[in-house]
Structure 1
Amino acid sequence: MANDWHADPLVWGHGPRLLEVFLEPTCPFSVKTFHKLDDFLAQAGESKVSVRIWFNSQPWHLLSPIVTRAIVAASTLDGGKETAKRIMAAVANRREEFVFENHSTGPNRDATPNDVLKRLEEASGVALTQAFEIPDLDSEIKRHTKYARQNGIHSTPTFMIDGLVEPGMGSGDKVAEWVKRFE
């Protein structure tokens, strides 16, 4: 495959204020955060804020690297970030298909990377295999990881507002509480 691919940045909204969220796509707390982002953007105003998702894969979520690569791969396809969002939503809505029980057991231990990719394709309706196989796609995944590390991000979800980590902001907060931070 030629090196003519482009990963669409996972940014929604076009406002001057920036909420960056560092997510692990299979983490229950990241899933809770993901489900609130559209509501946050609607309440805060797309012309006032921008939301950017970064991935910070966690080693205890054992299928995370495959899922993360699939999401980034989806961002290279037609629809870009919206196609990637379909994969994120499929994972969020069917999380049990992409995690191990107690981080170590259960039927997903028998799943191969191809099984996980097939589940993602079936759950989202997005054909991912060709994009998943882009030889240097890992450069984009490494960019996410490097950015997280440069900002001292080690766990997910983590929130940054206008470049500063917000340790008091969490997935359990109401969306209205997030919006108040931008008023």
Structure 2
Amino acid sequence: MALPPSLKPLIVAGNPDAPHTLEVFLDYVCPFSGKFSRAIDNHIRPLITHGGKYDGKVKVIFRLQVQPWHSASTLTHEAGLAVLRVSPENFWPFSCQLFDNQEDYYDIPTLDLTPRQIRAKLADLAAKVIPPKAVEHFQDILTPKGHLNGGVAVTDDLKYNIKFARQNGIHVSPTALWDGLVANEVSSSWGEKEWSDFFAAKVKS
């Protein structure tokens, strides 16, 4: 449930000081993760913010779950972390944009694209959400520099997310943790009733 201070914007819903934590491991190019991202806004957020029944009691952390069998997964997650760096308040809006356009980054649509071309597409997508002055910084962050195999400016942030998932035995997306334990019952197909029932069972007044 811990986060480095620089990654605090990964708390995408609820009060950061809330006593309960729902952690969701999502991959930007996983269709079920896309469904889950929409559930966060449509079903979970109304329950845990703005006077909802569990306002102040639950927070949601988005854990970036890179799945390397999808060739563009690493590049999309780097883009999310770059937005988090240059425009943290727009990290979740960008993530939602990326989930809504995730098919553009599936295996076949990106088959003949180079990493440079994919990053350019991601920059165009980011430009729809982040301030114009931040776009150049976003592109600079995703430009490899220095050592021939040193990655980009957010590689260490990416490593943190991958290592966190590995040490917790997370293998697939989406996976949900409630207060640090895997909640196998959680489904990306859940609607308002299922989430209401889940919180009613888990959150004790």
TM-score (norm 1): 0.85
Aligned match of 1:122 in 121, 124, 127?
124
2:111 match: secondary structure: helix
1:164 partnered with 2:181: yes
Looking at structure 1, the residues matched to 115 and 153 of structure 2 have their Cα atoms a distance apart, in angstroms, of: 18
Of 70, 77, 86, the residue aligned with 1:68 is 77
CA spacing shift, 1:59–1:53, aligned 2, 3 Å: same
Residue aligning to 1:43: 47
Structure 1: distance between partners of 2:79 and 2:103: 17
Question: 2-side partners of 1:110 and 1:50: how far apart?
Answer: 40
1:7, 1:73 within 8 Å by CA — same for their partners in 2? no
Post-superposition offset of 1:8: 4.2
Equivalent residues of 1:87, 1:120 under 8 A apart = no
- 19, 23, 41: which one aligns with 2:22: 19
- In structure 1, the partner of 2:94 is 87
1:129 corresponds to which letter in structure 2? Q
Q: Is the 8 A contact 1:73 1:131 kept in 2?
A: yes
How far apart are 1:124 and its partner, in Å? 3.1
CA shift digits 1:96-120 (9 cap, x unpaired): 21112xxxxx342111122222212
CA distance in 1, matches of 2:58, 2:27: 22
Tell me how far 1:64 sits from its aligned partner: 0.4
SS in 2 for 1:70: helix
- Percent of paired sites with the same residue: 30
For structure 2, the 5+ residue unaligned runs are: 1-5, 50-54, 145-151, 201-205
| 8 Å Cα contact 1:18-1:161 kept in structure 2 | yes
Deviation, structure 1 residue 7: 4.1
**Cα root mean square deviation, aligned:** 2.0
Number of aligned pairs?
A: 172
2:142/2:153 contact within 8 Å kept: no
**Partners of 2:72 and 2:119 in 1: how far apart?**
10
Structure-1 separation of matches of 2:31 and 2:187 = 12
Helix, strand or coil: the match of 1:96? helix
Question: Mapping of 1:114-153 within 5 angstroms?
Answer: 114-125=116-127, 126=130, 127=135, 128-133=138-143, 135-153=152-170
Residue 9 of structure 1 is matched in structure 2 by 9
4+ runs deviating over 4 angstroms: none
Note the C-alpha offset of 1:143. Answer: 1.0
Q: 1:166 to 1:110 in 2, by over 3 A?
A: same
Distance in 2 (CA, whole Å) between partners of 1:129 and 1:8 is: 22
CA distance in 2, matches of 1:163, 1:107: 36
For the residues of structure 2 that align with 1:150 and 1:54, how far apart are their CA atoms?
13
Contact 1:90 1:120 (8 Å CA) reproduced = no
| Runs of 5+ consecutive residues of structure 1 not aligned to the other structure | 1-5, 101-105
* Contact 2:141 2:153 survives alignment (8 Å): no
Q: Which shows bigger deviation, 162-171 or 128-137?
A: 128-137
Instruction: State the distance in 2 between where 1:159 and 1:68 align.
Output: 18
